[in-house]
Amino acid sequence: MTGASSGIGAAVARALRASGWDVVAVARRADRLAELESEVGVVAYAADLTDAADVSALAAWLEESGPVHALVQVAGGARGTDRVEDGVAADWQWMFEVNVLATQRLVAAVLPLLRRTAVDDGYVSTVFVTSTAAQTAYPGGAGYNAAKAGESMIAHALRLELNGEPIRVIEVAPGMVFTEEFTLNRLGGDTVGAEKVYEGVQDPLTAADVADVVAYALNAPGHVNLDLITMRPVAQSAQHLLARGPLRPRGGTE
């Protein structure tokens, strides 16, 4: 699985280990992976998925290490909240590299290994953690909207292309999730701005919430494919409709 050094990725690694999976945890930050390896017993593998050579080396290592039953793609990210007319091309290019091209490289490299496992063991799985940003545009989000929509379309097309094979293609699209790094990185380290994003929102999703859903989807019977799971906190009824302040029932007695 990818993106395992922090946030949702690290939580998914923990959830899968807790439910009995052997996990190869992939990310760029080797120090963070080493901590996770010590904590829950994953096998750490440091790689930059935007580097084709690193992806090829990962696939070769996986081929030698044993059968691959699932690919869980969590790695990704956002940079900036610029309007389309003010977009920074370098930020948009980075988002396309980490969310779309890295995903395509990973699928191309690992799919032959999944097919090999399926010959002997039956159903195998792919899981893509995208975002509700892939489904609905919002002002200041166009670069991330486009990147996550691209990743989502990879999953949709792949499911059609694999028709007739025992390979599940699952997409999990979270809405507002509070993690320590995502929004902070998106805002270039602006701590105050990152705090305002979640200000007053009762119970945004946590990384563990998303991880539980990913684990559920993977642990479902092999013939059950959860094509698309959209998940949001109750406070976020839609991408553009977010309640700030305590959630209270209407019409109740005092």
For residue 198, indicate whether it is catalytic: no
Strand partners, 4: none
Outline where the chain has alpha helix (H): 7-18, 30-40, 52-65, 89-96, 102-121, 142-161, 182-186, 191-198, 207-219
The active-site residue out of 45, 123, 138, 144 is 144
DSSP annotation of 4? T
Cα gap 130→132, rounded to integer Å: 7
Cα gap 127→129, rounded to integer Å: 7
Q: How many helices (H) and strands (E) does the chain have?
A: 9, 10
| Secondary element (H or E) of residue 73 | strand 70-73
Contact 138, 117 (CB under 8 A): no
Q: Which residues are catalytic?
A: 144
